[in-house]
Amino acid sequence: MRAFKLFFVFLILNFGALGLGSWLMNNGPKSLWYADLNKAPWTPDGWVFGAAWFTIMFCFSIYMTYLYLERPSKQVITLFGIQLLINTSWNYLFFNQHLITIGLINIVMLLILITTFLVTYYKDLKIKSMLIVPYFLWLIIATSLNLYIFIYN
């Protein structure tokens, strides 16, 4: 029962952050500014982003539940909180404020943080660490998209 409650808390926090990030981007993906950017040829259709983030946050909520049950520490919660802040702020920086360079720095920091989760806690979670791999892989793709826009705009 404790695991279910913990999962529910992480689910609410993760999807709440997605909702806040979506609100902060102020319709950015549909803006003229974004439409006029030179985007990477491998940029997915818009619906892919929603499907990817739903899957990522669902899996990440399960991952965080296992991690916190295995290692209930202030460090784990602090890293999780920093992840929420960095993840949410990217939408505001990139789409709302059009700060491509700062957005790129932001997403690289997020990639480093998720890599830290993956590497640091692998020996605690072993195969359960696969739950954070979608997040890691998506951030590699997202970073490449942001980098392309940085270079070609």
How is the chain split into domains, by residue range? 2-152
Residue type at 89? S
pLDDT tens track, the chain, 153 positions? 899 999 999 999 999 999 999 999 988 889 999 999 999 999 999 899 999 999 999 999 999 999 999 999 999 999 999 999 999 999 999 999 999 999 999 999 999 999 999 999 999 999 999 999 999 999 999 999 999 999 999
pLDDT of residue 59: 98
pLDDT of residue 45: 93
Give the single-character DSSP code of 93.
Answer: I
- C-alpha neighbours within 13 Å on the C-beta side of residue 60: 27
Its CATH architecture, for the domain 2-152, is: Up-down Bundle (1.20)
| CB contact set of 74 (below 8 Å; sequence gap of 6+) | none
pLDDT of residue 143: 98
